[in-house]
């Protein structure tokens, strides 16, 4: 158990509204990630963070922003939700870069944009 908590676990929101998903970790890991998982696409990296206030874009970052003001919290914001952002979102951490990208995932947030 890597001590990762995502909230909320489920959310339904309307098109055009802002949405923020939260990832909280208890083990003080430096690297945190946000992925989305869609059928037929596997997991795709949205944004990642390599420290407080240090973030960068992933493969599918358009329409998303992130913030990390504390080591333990990594927030993903959809500024204006669209139906194409309906997905399951996973937060992950990696414990040690030298061990490769062995990731530990949260339980996911199922987001539906109607």
Partner 1 sequence: TQLLEQSPQFLSIQEGENLTVYCNSSSVFSSLQWYRQEPGEGPVLLVTVVTGGEVKKLKRLTFQFGDARKDSSLHITAAQPGDTGLYLCAGETGGFKTIFGAGTRLFVKA
* Closer CB to partner 1, 43 or 77, in the complex: 43
Q: Between 108 and 111, name the residue whose CB sits nearer to partner 1.
A: 108
- For residue 94, the minimal CB distance to partner 1 (Å) is 9
Rounded to whole angstroms, how far apart are CA atoms 58 and 8? Answer: 22
Minimum CB distance to partner 1 smaller for 27 or for 79: 27
In whole angstroms, how close is the CB of 76 to partner 1 at the nearest point?
Answer: 15
Between CA 35 and CA 49 the distance in angstroms is 12
Cα–Cα distance measured from residue 55 to residue 68, given in angstroms and rounded to the nearest whole number: 8
Residue 16 CB, nearest approach to partner 1 (Å): 28
Residues 6+ apart with CB under 8 A from 5: 23, 24, 25, 26, 106, 107
CB under 8 Å to 49, separation ≥6 — which residues? 31, 32, 33, 55, 56, 66, 68, 74
Q: What residues line the site for partner 1 (CB under 8 A)?
A: 4, 31, 35, 40-45, 48, 50, 56, 58, 90, 92, 99-108
Nearer to partner 1, 14 or 62 (CB): 62
């Amino acid at each position: 158990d890597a001590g990762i908590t995502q909230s909320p676990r489920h959310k339904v929101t309307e098109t055009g509204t802002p949405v923020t998903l939260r990832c909280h970790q208890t083990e003080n890991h430096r690297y945190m990630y946000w992925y989305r998982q869609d059928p037929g696409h596997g997991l795709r990296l949205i944004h990642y963070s390599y420290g407080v206030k240090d973030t960068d874009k992933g493969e599918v970052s358009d329409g998303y922003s992130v913030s990390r003001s504390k080591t333990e919290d990594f927030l993903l914001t959809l500024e204006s939700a669209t139906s194409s952002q309906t997905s399951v979102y996973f937060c992950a951490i990696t414990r040690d870069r030298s061990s490769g990208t062995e990731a530990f995932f949260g339980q996911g947030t199922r987001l539906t944009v109607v």
